[in-house]
């Protein structure tokens, strides 16, 4: 009887919970995976997307996805060369890109479709139809120069479009920070500190500190620390004491 404890427990717990109906699973199972499992059939053109974007998205993200009013810009920072290579040059050291946009980082197209479908527009998430999500996704890809203006994105061509994403080759799972072995990472953390106890390294020289003009940038710190105990919050409305 101890052979299958899971089974034994299943029977003890019988009657707790019930089978989900197909309609229920359908209502909630909205995720779209990188292999596009979960993606509903449908289609939408760049032009249809532009109309939706202007009406429901641009107020927050800007007409060209350039706004950082509510979040980092959605489009920008990718080139035709990136579309070819699948690696965004703007992410290389010293590339001097002012922001890392959505388009620069996105390596899986399912991610964009899934996220818009579940969470946008921000104040009324889950209000778009599948076709509308296709359309607006197409429009964003057009803003990123991934799709031409006359393109219609659909469940049948989306895999090809995936192959055009500027940063599709931009991800790695070769690290030790995944809590399992499923992603082919490494076992040994990449960074290790030092156990040195005495006379470690050279003199401690301060290399970075907050500029004086920012002293009060987080409000008066005197009001952010307890008024008893061994310390007080610094009164940052005044210059530091000599």
Window 31-60: residues binding Ca ion (CB under 5 A): 31, 38
**Whether 126 contacts 118, CB under 8 Å:** yes
Q: Does 60 bind ligand HEC (CB under 6 A)?
A: yes
The footprint of other proteins on residues 194-233 (CB under 8 A) is: 194-201, 203-210, 214-215, 217-219, 221, 223-233
DSSP string, 137-159: HHHHHHHTTSS-TT-EEETTTHH
Least distance in angstroms from the C-beta of 188 to other proteins: 10
Report how far residue 215's alpha carbon sits from residue 114's, in angstroms, rounded to the nearest whole number.
Answer: 43
Contacts of 190 (CB under 8 A, 6+ apart): 175, 176
The item of ligand HEC, other proteins, Ca ion, none sharing an interface with residue 161, based on CB under 5 to 8 Å by kind, is: none
For the window 73-112, what string marks contact with Ca ion as x by the rule CB under 5 A?
---------x--x-x-x-----------------------
Report how far residue 100's alpha carbon sits from residue 56's, in angstroms, rounded to the nearest whole number.
Answer: 23
Nearer to other proteins by C-beta: 42 or 115? 115
CA dihedral 78, 81, 82, 83 (to 10 degrees): 100
Q: Does 114 bind Ca ion (CB under 5 A)?
A: no
Q: Which residues bind Ca ion (CB under 5 A)?
A: 15, 29, 31, 38, 82, 85, 87, 89
């Amino acid at each position: 009887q101890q052979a299958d404890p899971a089974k034994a427990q299943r029977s003890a717990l019988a009657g707790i919970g019930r089978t989900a109906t197909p309609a229920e699973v359908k209502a909630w199972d909205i995720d779209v995976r990188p292999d596009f499992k979960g993606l509903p059939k449908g289609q939408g053109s760049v032009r249809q997307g532009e109309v939706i974007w202007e009406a429901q998205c641009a107020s927050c993200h800007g007409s060209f996805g350039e706004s950082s009013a509510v979040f980092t810009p959605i489009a920008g920072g990718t080139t035709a060369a990136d579309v070819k290579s699948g690696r965004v040059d703007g992410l290389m050291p010293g590339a001097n890109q002012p922001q890392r946009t959505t388009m620069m980082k996105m390596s899986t197209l399912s991610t964009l479709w899934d996220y818009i479908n579940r969470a946008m527009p921000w104040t009324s998430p889950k209000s778009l139809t599948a076709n509308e999500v296709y359309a607006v996704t197409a429009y964003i890809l057009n803003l990123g120069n991934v799709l031409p203006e006359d393109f219609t994105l659909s469940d049948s061509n989306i895999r090809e479009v995936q192959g055009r994403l500027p940063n599709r080759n931009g991800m790695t799972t070769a690290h030790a920070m995944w809590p399992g072995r499923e992603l082919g990472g490494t076992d040994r953390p990449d960074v290790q500190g030092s156990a040195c106890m005495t006379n470690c390294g050279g003199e401690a020289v301060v290399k970075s500190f907050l500029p004086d003009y920012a002293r009060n940038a987080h409000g008066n710190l005197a009001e952010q620390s307890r008024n008893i105990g061994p310390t007080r919050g610094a009164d940052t409305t005044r210059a530091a004491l000599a």
